Structures are given as C-alpha cells and as structure tokens.
Amino acid sequence: MVKEDWAMKTVTNEISKACSVIPGKMALPNQYFAGRVGSRFIISLRDSKKILGVKCPKCKTVYVPPMECCQKDMTKIDENWVELGDTGVLVNYTVVNYRDAHLPRKTPYILGMIQMDGAEATLVHLVEGVDPQNVKIGMRVKVVFAGKTTNTILDIDHFEPIEE
C-alpha cells in the first residue's frame, strides 16, 4: 500500500513536469429551454418587472422561482400563480473569488440565497451594494431590475440591501 502511494506520487510529479497547460477557447453555441413555467416567470420580469411565484393549494408553500410541482407533496402547482413584491431576506450567501470569463461579475462578488417576502423557497442571485466583509445573513434586500432586458434571470440585475 505504501509502495503504491509512492508510485502514484511519482507518476503525478512526472506528469506535471512533463506536461504543460495550454489555455484556449471552445465555441459551444447552445439554447437553454426555460420551460413553460420558467418562461412565464422570465416574461413577467422582462415585460412587467413583476416577480411571480406559484403557490401550492395543498400546503400553501410559495415557490420563487416557480416550479411545476410542490417539492413537499408533489401537487401540480404550475397554474396557481401569485405575484410577489420586490423585497426579501438574505438567508445564506457565499463570496465568489474564483475568476472565470463566463462569470457574471468581477470577483469578489456575493451570491446570495434570497427568500422573497411571502415565499418559502429561495432564489439564488447576485447581491451588490454591500462589501463582502459586511454582508450578513438576515439582511433585508430588494430587487434592482436591469435597465435593459437580456430575457433571462438577469433581468433582475441584482439584489441590494434595504437601508432601514
């Protein structure tokens, strides 16, 4: 066993010395199908700047972003739309320090789990207007809509703290 570990370490070192990493780009055109429920959510953001959720008639759970079935009891809920306001609470977050060209912001930035007022499920989105070292779980936040639509979830540009 010890001998095998030693052999693996040697191979890894030899590989890292013998190989180089060559950065490159691959074009990968794709389309993401938001689905019927996701599309209605995005279209409402885009055309009305309104945040829609769906409410389970059985257990009363409200989901934002909306989904077809309740995760608690599997009731079909995709026709039971409710309109929510633009405020919520930050229930968790992470500070992203990993840099990559496809990421939506320059690092460091905050990615938060936001529970919209009136909803139980959480929405993952960008939190701005607060330094990463000052962000707090429980912070009240509000939606800032994008000035120009991208016809995506980024029609909500970000969330920012509510000054109270």
Least CB distance from residue 66 to Zn ion, whole Å?
A: 13
Residue 90 to residues 14, 32, 82, 117, 155, Cα–Cα distance (Å): 47, 27, 21, 11, 19
Q: Which residues bind Zn ion (CB under 5 A)?
A: 56, 58-59, 61, 70, 72-73, 75
State how far the Cα of 108 lies from the Cα of 58, in Å rounded to an integer.
41
* Residue 67 CA: distances (Å) to CA of 13, 34, 122, 154: 48, 11, 12, 18
Residue closer to Zn ion, measured from CB, 67 or 113: 67
Nearer to Zn ion, 70 or 135 (CB): 70
Tokens of 105: 């912001």
**Closest distance of CB 102 from Zn ion, Å:** 35
Taking 3-state DSSP, the helix, strand and coil percentages for the chain, each rounded to the nearest 5, stand at 25, 30, 50
Kindly tell me which of 11 and 59 has the beta carbon lying closer to Zn ion.
Answer: 59
Q: For Zn ion, which is the closer residue by CB, 74 or 91?
A: 74
Taking the least distance from each CB to Zn ion, the nearer of 14 and 73 is 73
> Which residues contact residue 105 at a Cβ distance below 8 angstroms, ignoring those fewer than 6 apart?
96, 126, 128
CB of residue 53 to Zn ion, shortest distance in Å: 13
> Closest approach of Cβ 73 to Zn ion, in Å?
4
CB of residue 121 to Zn ion, shortest distance in Å: 11
Classify the phi-psi angles of 75: left when phi > 0, otherwise alpha if psi is within -120 to 50, otherwise beta.
Answer: beta
